[in-house]
Amino acid sequence: MFYQPVYFISVLLCCLVTVSTQHPLDTETNLNDDKSEIDYDCLNESNATVDLLKQYHGEESKEMLCFIKCRFRKQNFIYEDGTVGYDLLEKRINELVDENQEKNFDCLKTMPQILSCDDMKILLECIKSI
């Protein structure tokens, strides 16, 4: 199992913010750049704020969990029925992580449905353990 907070936050943030012209892991610049395409629908739905996204360091407030759930839903990492889009999520993680790094995706394969914002805690713990 591999876990480093910077790794986890980088993987997670690349899934949270869609950016048109910059590298997806350059999140500090992205959130401050006028070219950022922050998902305001998810912000409104979750009651999160841009400041909360800028200051995110892995804490799991209700607003942040709801924002992450909304973004994962929109990217089909979580389907409408709450099942995890294992193949898409695995592919995205593999794109972001060193190919020589050993990864274990078993927890994604057995993930229960993600129906509430609090359920995101289980998925985030799984991603941390990969």
Which CATH number applies to 5-129? Answer: 1.10.238
Give residue-wise pLDDT tens across range 28-82. 444 444 434 567 888 889 998 888 887 877 778 999 999 999 989 988 999 999 9
Give residue-wise pLDDT tens across range 103-130. 888 998 899 999 999 999 999 888 888 7
In whole angstroms, what is the distance from residue 87 CA to residue 98 CA? 18
Q: Provide the whole-model pTM.
A: 0.72
Q: Which residues of 102-130 are buried (b: 16+ CB within 10 A; e: fewer)?
A: eeebebbeebeebeebebbeebbebbbbb
